[in-house]
Each structure stands twice: as structure tokens, then as C-alpha cells.
Chain A
Amino acid sequence: MSAPLAATEWFRRMLFIRRFEETLLEMFSKGLLVGTTHTCIGQEADAVGVIDHLEPGRDVVVSNHRCHGHYIAFTDDPSGLMAEVMGRVGGTCAGRGGSQHLCRDGFYTNGVQGSIVPLASGMALAERERGGGGAVTVFIGDGTLGQGAVYECMNMAALWSLPLLIVVENNQYAQTTPVEIAVAGSIPDRARAFGITAVELDGRDAPAIHAAAGELLSTVRTGAPAVLVIDTYRLRAHSKGDDVRDPAEVAARERTDALAVVSQQLEPAERERIMAEVESALADCVATAEASPIAVGSAA
């Protein structure tokens, strides 16, 4: 279990993800990118807080369409992701996957809601058999709780003592569907029905995410699957421009999200210094990606 992160470190890691995705949205709006993207703007603390306890080579992360934050936190390869979204040969999957189909060093994503939970469970079964103490962490959203495979896997994870952590990022919406009209009852109780330990917390409290994830993962590694429900909020559209929420509701959350909270804890000079460092790292990342040739196929 990793030691708590200093506020400066929270700020640096979350800000990089934030600025990376804001850059993507800018590039989309300028017509520089094609396809789609789903930003985790407002939810960065989930990625940073959980994944700080994970190590490439030992652990596996399986994620969904909203995966950039997870990818950056786990792989330390933002330029590979940038190049992938740009359709460059230097991308994580050489341009074949795009934003929501990533693969690198034990990090996998796929774009069909719910389907990643069985995949992650199989990987956790492999991990259990290998006995290397690794854990598999799978991230899903509140909307994905509508998929039956999630519960098939909770059942098997409990029965088979899988080293599996399911992180539910409840950002209150599935595309445009509010959680109230899609998810009945209590989310953690769904897991508890299978005898799985479940913790729910407020995602604006970044250190709480870190502490809870660390604790859960230490038991997950011994074969006790767990569910971590993080109540959070996405500050931008579902993908690029599809937002039907009340702007006042979004604005209120903008002032209180985990990045805003951490930012307020920093001395202004320190904040400025980190912001400058992040901008320079991001510029490097974009430049590296842009230097990679555009992927082209040969006709079938």
C-alpha cells in the first residue's frame, strides 16, 4: 500500500490528465482529430488515487471508454495515447484502437459497456493461478451497472476468490441518463449481496480515494474481491459536445471537484510552478506524438 500523496503530487498528476484531455477537446473543436473521445475531466482523482497502488508488470488495469486518466496514471506513456488518438503509427496500438481501445503493459480497454468485467475476471483468475500477488482493477461507470455480466462476474469473483477490484465511477450519468432512472437500490449493496466488501465514498476527497483503494487492494491481493464506489461528476460532455445537463448544476460541481480542492491547498507560487511544468510536459507529449507518421493502410 503506497504512502499518501502530497498535495503537490495530487495536483501535478491530476492537472496533467486534465490538461491532456482539455487539449484533446481543443484539437477536436479545431477539426484536428477525428472519431470520438470521452474525457474524465472532474474524475481524475479516481485514476490517480486508485492506480497509485498499482504497478505495471505486477498488476493489470482494465478500463472502458473513459480511460485516458487511467492510462496515463498507469503507464506513464501519455505520448503513446496522444499518438493513438491522433491516428499515428507511434500510438499505443499504432492507430488501430483509437481513444477507447488501448493496450500497453498490462493495461487494456474496450468500448462495449460491461464486457470488460468478464475479461478482467479472467485475467484475475490467471493472476490467482500464477500466485504473484498481482491484482486486476477494472473501472466501470454507473450506467454499466445495467449489464448482467457485471453480476455474473461478481458471483464468480466471490466464489473463486479472484484478486479483482471493481471501481465504479458513479459520475451520476450514463451519457444523458441520470443514475436515478437507471440504477435501483444501493450500488454497494449489490456487491455485498455476493459477500463482496464494498466501500462508497465522495470522489471530491482525493486522499480518501487513495486510502480506501490502498486498503481494499491489500485484501484484493489475498483473493478477496472488492468494489469501490466513487461518487463523482464529469465536468464536460459525455464525449465531445453532447451535454444536456443544466449548466448551473455543472458549474456548481466545477468549484468543488477534487482538482479544485487540491489546488486551493497549494501556495500560489507552487501552483504556478507545477502548472508551468505540466504545460511543458504536455507540449513535449504533443510534439512527440506529432512527430510520429500518420498511420495508413493498404487496400484489401
Chain B
Amino acid sequence: MSSLRCGAALNRGLTEAMAADERVYLLGEDVLDPYGGAFKISTGISDRWPDRVISTPISEASLVGIAAGMAIQGYRPVLEIMFGDFITLGFDQIVNGISKFREMYNDQVRLPLVVRTPMGGRRGYGPTHSQSLEKFLIGVPNITVVATSEIHDLGAMMRAAVEDDEPVFLVENKVMYGRPNRRPESGRLDGFSVRESDGPYPALTLSASGFSAGTATIATYGGTVPLAIDAATELIMEHEVFCEIVVLGSLLPLDLDPVLESVERTGALIVAEEGTMTAGIGAEIAARVQEAAWDDLRAPVRRVAAADGIIPSAPGLEDAMLPSVPELVDAALRCEAARV
């Protein structure tokens, strides 16, 4: 098993993408070597391609538009937003520009660009450096929102995003960067059987019971994936309750099929995310699943998410706010209780 850490895997993918196509440019704050970006994902790139790496002023509102302009003119910019929280500054360009140009201009332009950014808390960075704001992105038609996780092939995902002809928002996770990029081997990971869907941003479905009936499906992504795995493991060990986990790769367009297939086997759904609960990604998944698979569900869809509030800085306060393994275990036990 590769012991490459997730941050290094993303860096490798980005380096390969730079090497593969000279139209790929890297832009962002503090991306030059030796620093290589606040989370080091851009390390080694400016040393190798000094002419294709542009260290920018702190101007997110414009940088997102600059990436769009470059992309329309045939380049493939990769823009690093230092913290996902700052994507808000670029929202005009995302909503009124990037997401609209191709359709509004009647297919006369393409925007092959990547905006990559770390989301997530659990590092004590406080209310403005810890959020998971991807739920705002999935409300924007015509963009692709990809959630990386520690069990995805991160290098391949990064390359796919850069090679994509449509605008991709690559959501990374700060805690994930330092963890090993674990991959299933011969269809197994941590005692789970794993199925991986096709396509550039696959979903992975994990089952500890060989994809036979279970208690619930936990649909999740990104930084919440290790919590879901821990919860599912605890449920087996301590409660003999078997859950499937669907780790989404593409949040927009939402890749629903693996979730529906799993729910058909388990009959219940828990959606788990690190963003705040109201109008979250889980809400969208829940709405779609109840519409498409009402007959498969024996219990209401349960949401596990951050509380609707700020993410405090002090570890004890932050932990209380963010979704946890016990909350996931509790949600699964409630699904189990609803079994007849």
C-alpha cells in the first residue's frame, strides 16, 4: 500500500498535469517555491516551470475572473484559493461568469479551469478558516464540484480535473492533506469490500457484509470519510450493525446512482458532511433519494452535519460543533431500531 500522504498525492497529480500540457498555468497566493502554497500542494512546481506559475496579490474576487479569462482564451489555469473560506470573494465570478459563459454565449466558449481549495476544520483555525462551503457551490448550475477524499486516487483526480474541459471546483480538506492516501487493494480496504464507479470523479461504496443487506447507507465525502469509516467499524465491533458507506467524488453533478443502489440494499440513508446542516449537501441528497427511492426507505433520512453556527477555535468548542463518530453511530442505531 502506498504511504504517500494526500497532500503529496495531490502535488504529484498537479505536477504531472503541468508536465503534460504547457497550457496549464498555476496561479495563487504564496505558491512560489520554496513555500509552495500554504498547504504545500504547489511545492516544486514554480522551480520547474517558473514561467507558468504566477504568484498573485491577495485579490480573490479578481483572480477567479482572471482564471476565467485565461480559460476562454485557450489556457488551462489552476487557481489555488488558500483557504476555502475565501471562495466567497470569488462568488460573483463563479455565479455570474464562469457558470454562465458557455451556455449564455451559446456554446461559443469553453472554460477549462480548476479552482482548488482546502475546506474543513479540526485544526483550530477558527470561524473564518475552517468552514466547508461547498454547499454554496452545488447551488450553481453548470459547474463541476469534486470532493477529494483520502481513499480516492488523488493524483488521478487532480489530473482529471485539469484535463476537464469544463470548470471544476476541487474541494480538498486540510486534515486530509496530512493523512495517507489509502487505496483499496483487490477491492478491499480496512476490512470493507469496495466498489468504485467509473468516470473521472468516482464514488466508492464500502460494505463490510459483501454488499448484502445492511442497516443503513452513510453517504458522505471529503473530510468526513474517515469518521464514517470509524463509525461503521465501531458499529460492527460493538453493535453488530452493518452499514455501507458511499464516498462521493462528484458533488455537482450529484452522482446519485451509487447512493440509490446502496439504499436498495440497506433501506435507510444517513447523509454526513462537515458543512453546516441547513440547506446542505445532505439536504439535496435526501430530497432526491426520497423522491427516487421512497419504496426502499424504511426510516426517514438522517442528517449528520455541523451545527448551524460558527466553528469556534478552541478544540473543545470546535469538536462540539462538528459532526462526530458518536453522532454517526447514533444515527445508524436509530436506523437499526426502525428495522422490523
Which of A23-31, A104-112, A199-207, A266-274 lies at the interface with chain B?
A104-112
Among B59, B69, B72, B104, residue most surrounded by chain A Cβ atoms (within 10 Å): B69
Q: By the criterion CB–CB under 8 Å, are B105 and A125 in contact?
A: no
Give chain A residues whose Cβ lies under 8 Å from the Cβ of B62: 117-118, 121, 149, 152-153, 156
Report if A118-B69 is in contact (Cβ < 8 Å); known contacts: A96-B106, A104-B108, A155-B59. Answer: yes
Min CB–CB distance B54 → chain A (angstroms): 7
A125 cross-chain contacts in B, Cβ below 8 A: 54, 66, 69-70
Q: Is B57 an interface residue (CB 8 A)?
A: yes
**Residues of the B chain whose Cβ atoms lie less than 8 Å from the Cβ of A104:** 108
A122 x B69 contact (CB < 8 A): yes
| Chain A residues whose C-beta falls within 8 Å of the C-beta of B105 in the assembled complex | 93, 96-97, 101, 103, 108
Which residue in B54, B65, B77 is a CB contact (below 8 Å) of A119? Answer: B65
15 other A-B residue contacts (CB within 8 Å) besides A124-B69, A126-B74:
A93-B105, A96-B103, A96-B104, A104-B108, A110-B97, A115-B96, A118-B65, A118-B68, A119-B65, A119-B68, A121-B69, A126-B73, A126-B75, A156-B56, A159-B57
Task: Please measure, in the bound complex, the distance between the C-alpha atom of A126 and the C-alpha atom of B101, giving whole angstroms.
Answer: 17
Report whether A126 and B56 are in contact in the complex, using a CB–CB cutoff of 8 Å.
no
* A121 touches which of B66, B101, B104 (Cβ 8 Å): B66
B66 to chain A: closest residue by CB:
A122
Chain B residue with the shortest CB-CB distance to A160: B54
Question: With A118-B64, A126-B75 in contact, is A112–B108 under 8 Å at CB?
Answer: no
User: How many of chain A's residues touch chain B, expressed as a range?
Assistant: 35 or more
Task: Sort chain B's interface into a size bin.
Answer: 20 to 34
24 A/B residue pairs, CB under 8 Å, sorted by A? A92-B106, A96-B104, A96-B105, A101-B104, A103-B104, A103-B106, A108-B105, A111-B96, A115-B92, A115-B97, A117-B65, A118-B66, A118-B93, A119-B68, A119-B72, A120-B69, A122-B65, A125-B70, A149-B59, A149-B65, A152-B61, A153-B59, A153-B66, A156-B66
Residue with the highest number of chain A CB atoms closer than 10 Å, among B57, B103, B105? B105
Question: Would B59 and A119 count as touching, CB distance under 8 A?
Answer: no
Q: Is A241 an interface residue (CB 8 A)?
A: no
Q: Is A148's CB within 8 Å of the partner chain B? A: yes
* A129, CB-defined interface residue at 8 Å: yes
What number of residue pairs across chains A and B have CB atoms under 8 A from each other? 111
Within 8 A of A (CB), among B1-46: 25
> Is A127 part of the contact surface with B, judged by Cβ < 8 Å?
yes
| Minimum Cβ distance to chain A for residue B108 (Å) | 5
1/0 per residue B91-103: CB within 8 Å of A? 0110011001101
State the Cβ distance, B192 to closest chain A Cβ, in Å.
Answer: 39
Q: Is the CB of A103 within 8 A of B69?
A: no
B65 to A115, Cβ gap below 8 A? yes
B113 to chain A, nearest CB (A): 9
Q: For the complex, give the distance between the alpha carbons of A156 and B62 in Å.
A: 9
